[in-house]
């Protein structure tokens, strides 16, 4: 149920000649994509797809979702001309797993990336100029881009990727995208005046950044997308456009801040007298911001401005009626780098934000637009999520998708014509917390204890009613285990020994094979290694592996202790210990004692994971 808002046939030789001429004329200067297929199908019988994913935009950050301070006239117009969803959910509450869910059609009970596990930029393998990134997509994983290619589409990812570095199994060019421009590593995406971006595996130098701050990365991403659309306007295309606004850092050109000069401001965030810098040795750091609220509002307005320009370009090229544009956010609002979601009411009526599995962390704005196909001014309460995008595109493009996905096509909601199939339930997990939504009921917790909320009467999840509805609580808790399955197969990895643990007189050493000795050069006291433990079917330690060795660790505050993450083999059962290095000599590293037997192998994981050597 929806609510209304107020508001050519050519012979083949000639065809080849025409295509060749078009190819030469359209040869890219900025958007250097792979060569277009000479027998690409006519675009007239296939709708273009543009999926816009922005970074950490809250449910309440747009005017059409209740925002009262930040002005978003273009996205409000997009909603008035299209369909606005009230109950659409991200794949996760943080970046990488949410994007994995979108790309693969599998929720986090089945997907292979369930947190923001990082590839170490400062490890021996990466060097100073390596293309680092996050846990890569598994080899052989079918993505949205693969399916679009199967349907004869040109494909591009422009923006923040976050699902694998260059040359990994998650490299965008390895998972179906013809063209990539942007950030491999979501840590680099913390900087809008970055010193380089990547185009199809090659670094693109931004020589005036960061000192002169003359090239704002969002503008470069937007311009690349506009150029790419013009280049492929005569062929069906799938554009995955992943803007980094409004994630921290908080910075935007002055022209976007001017409309908010009168905003009630908070104290400056950070040391505003410090020079602008890009920090790659410690991720998660942001540059200072003198006017955090004005800057955040200006960032969202700049995003809105460019969404208006995108829709206008489609109309200019007469592509609007044949292009489905979807706009959403990867998770709820953040409070990093000086952001103030409480001031802007960025989560709207919802509880929580980024890193929470309450509604504010996972329910996101979602707008679909295609004049003439989607009824203008429609508001849909259909409960849907990122893992529904794959079956929706499969139905739209008339291609067969994988048989192991979790999604349900919402094309009937967009276009009408037949009843919409509903989910029995939606599922998420992040860290040690899980969540399920079934109808009006929402459960948040773990296998032992949950909190239960009635979203019909308590959208803000203020009152736990588990004790009043114990049968419902137990049913939803059972779904926590039903929805979880081991996600990755050990056979996807090449595992071999690169050394042994040796214990002598209460001291612990890693004795490396001698061929790895050159890679240890430069290690010093208080650098650190990371030891990965995974578990056998009886949940007892089975193997141990050196996952990374950091030659330039945070020496002022060495990273020690144990934290929970996920294993490439058994995603639910894993611990990682970060151990200080005491000393290095030749091919031997002495570390603080770890729970490892004398003679335990030190393993190198290759393939879908990290390389040591």
pLDDT, one tens digit per residue, over 205-244 is 999 999 899 999 999 999 999 999 999 999 999 999 999 9
Residues 6+ apart with CB under 8 A from 489: none
Contact predicate 101/129, CB 8 Å = no
Question: Where is average pLDDT lowest: 116-125, 310-319, 577-586?
Answer: 116-125
pLDDT band with cut points at 50, 70 and 90 for residue 131: low
In CATH, the number for domain 3-35+49-374+389-415 is: 3.40.720.10
Report the chain's mean pLDDT, rounded to a whole number. 81
pLDDT band with cut points at 50, 70 and 90 for residue 534: very low
Residue range 488-497: mean pLDDT, rounded: 41
Of the chain, the percentage scoring pLDDT greater than 70 comes to 73
Residue range 523-527: mean pLDDT, rounded: 56
Beta strands in 162-233 (DSSP E): 179-183, 196-199, 202-205
CATH 3.30.1120.10 correct for 432-483: yes
Residue range 420-424: mean pLDDT, rounded: 97
User: What pLDDT score does 558 carry?
Assistant: 33
Residue range 126-134: mean pLDDT, rounded: 51
User: What pLDDT score does 415 carry?
Assistant: 97
Range picked from 239-248, 280-289, 490-499, 542-551 for highest mean pLDDT: 239-248
pLDDT band with cut points at 50, 70 and 90 for residue 527: low
CA distance linking residue 432 with residue 428, whole number of Å? 11
User: What pLDDT score does 93 carry?
Assistant: 96
Backbone phi and psi for residue 102, each to the nearest 5 degrees, phi listed first: -60, -50
Q: In what order do the strands lie in the sheet with 426-430?
A: 426-430, 433-438, 441-445, 450-454
User: What pLDDT score does 520 carry?
Assistant: 62
Cis before 46 (ω within 30): no
Residue range 172-184: mean pLDDT, rounded: 97
User: What pLDDT score does 36 carry?
Assistant: 37
DSSP string, 44-90: GGS-EEEEEEESS--TTSSGGGT-SSS--HHHHHHHHHSEEESSEE-
- Residue ranges per structural domain of the chain: 3-35+49-374+389-415, 432-483, 490-607
User: What pLDDT score does 166 carry?
Assistant: 85
Range picked from 115-119, 356-360, 504-508 for highest mean pLDDT: 356-360
CA distance linking residue 417 with residue 432, whole number of Å? 42
As its CATH architecture, domain 490-607 has Beta Barrel (2.40)
Reported as a single tens digit per residue, the pLDDT across 441-468 is: 999 998 889 999 999 999 999 999 999 9
User: What pLDDT score does 539 carry?
Assistant: 42
pLDDT band with cut points at 50, 70 and 90 for residue 374: very high
Asked if domains 3-35+49-374+389-415 and 432-483 share a fold, the reply is no
Reported as a single tens digit per residue, the pLDDT across 302-353 is: 999 999 999 999 999 999 999 999 999 999 999 999 999 999 999 999 999 9
CA distance linking residue 185 with residue 283, whole number of Å? 11
pLDDT band with cut points at 50, 70 and 90 for residue 30: very low
pTM for the model stands at: 0.77
Backbone phi and psi for residue 141, each to the nearest 5 degrees, phi listed first: -65, 130
435 pLDDT more than 80:
yes
List the structure tokens of 455. Answer: 């979203």
Nearest to residue 185, comparing CAs of 173, 175, 169, 197? 197
């Amino acid at each position: 149920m929806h609510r209304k808002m107020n508001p050519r046939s050519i012979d083949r030789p000639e065809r080849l000649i025409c295509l060749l001429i078009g190819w030469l004329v359209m040869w890219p200067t900025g958007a250097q994509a792979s060569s277009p297929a000479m027998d690409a199908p006519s675009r007239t019988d296939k709708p273009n797809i543009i999926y816009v994913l922005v970074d950490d935009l809250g449910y309440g950050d747009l005017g059409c979702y209740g925002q009262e301070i930040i002005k978003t006239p273009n996205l409000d117009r997009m909603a008035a001309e299209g369909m606005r969803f009230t109950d659409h959910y991200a794949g996760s509450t943080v970046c990488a797993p949410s994007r994995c869910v979108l790309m693969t059609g599998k929720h986090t009970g089945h997907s292979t990336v369930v947190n923001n596990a990082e590839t170490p930029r400062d490890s021996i393998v990466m060097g100073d100029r390596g293309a680092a990134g996050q846990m890569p997509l598994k080899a052989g994983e079918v993505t949205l881009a693969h399916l679009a290619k199967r349907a004869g589409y040109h494909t591009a990812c422009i923006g923040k990727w976050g699902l694998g570095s260059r040359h990994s199994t998650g490299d965008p060019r390895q998972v179906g995208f013809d063209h990539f421009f942007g950030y491999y590593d979501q840590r680099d995406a913390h900087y809008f005046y970055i010193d380089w971006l990547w185009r199809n595996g090659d670094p693109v130098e931004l020589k005036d950044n960061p000192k002169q701050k003359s090239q704002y990365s969002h503008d470069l991403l937007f311009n690349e997308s506009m150029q790419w659309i013009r280049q492929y306007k005569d062929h069906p295309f799938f554009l995955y456009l992943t803007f980094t606004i409004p994630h921290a850092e908080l910075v935007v050109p002055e022209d976007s801040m001017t409309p908010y000069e009168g905003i009630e401001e908070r104290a400056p965030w950070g040391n505003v007298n410090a020079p602008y810098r890009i920090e790659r040795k410690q991720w998660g750091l942001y540059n200072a911001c003198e006017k955090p609220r004005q800057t955040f509002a200006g960032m969202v307005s700049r995003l809105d401005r460019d969404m208006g320009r995108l829709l206008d370009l489609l109309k200019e090229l007469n592509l609007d009626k044949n292009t489905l544009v979807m706009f959403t956010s990867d998770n709820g609002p953040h409070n990093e780098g000086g952001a103030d979601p409480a001031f802007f009411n960025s989560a709207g009526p919802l509880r929580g934000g980024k890193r929470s599995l309450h509604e504010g962390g996972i329910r996101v704005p979602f707008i679909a637009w295609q004049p003439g196909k989607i009824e203008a001014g429609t508001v849909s309460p259909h409960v849907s999520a990122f893992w529904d995008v794959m079956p929706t595109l499969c139905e739209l493009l008339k291609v067969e998708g994988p048989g192991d996905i979790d999604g349900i096509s919402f094309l009937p909601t967009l276009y009408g014509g037949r009843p919409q199939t509903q989910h029995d339930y939606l599922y998420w997990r992040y860290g040690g917390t899980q969540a399920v939504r079934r109808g009006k009921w929402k459960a948040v917790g773990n296998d032992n204890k949950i909190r239960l909320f009635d979203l019909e009467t308590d959208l803000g999840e203020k009152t736990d009613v588990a004790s009043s509805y114990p049968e419902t609580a137990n049913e939803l808790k059972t779904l926590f285990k039903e929805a979880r399955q081991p996600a990755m197969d050990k056979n996807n990895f090449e595992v071999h020994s690169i050394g042994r643990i040796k214990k002598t007189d209460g001291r612990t050493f890693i004795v490396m094979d001698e061929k790895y000795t050159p890679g240890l050069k430069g290690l010093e006291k208080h650098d650190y290694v990371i030891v990965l433990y995974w578990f056998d079917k009886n949940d007892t330690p089975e193997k141990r592996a050196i996952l990374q060795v950091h030659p330039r660790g945070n020496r002022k505050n060495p990273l020690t202790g144990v934290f929970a993450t996920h294993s490439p083999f058994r995603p639910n059962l894993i611990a990682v210990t970060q151990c200080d290095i005491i000393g290095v000599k030749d091919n031997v590293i002495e570390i603080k004692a770890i729970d490892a037997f004398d003679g335990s192998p030190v393993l190198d994981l290759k393939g879908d994971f990290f390389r040591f050597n």
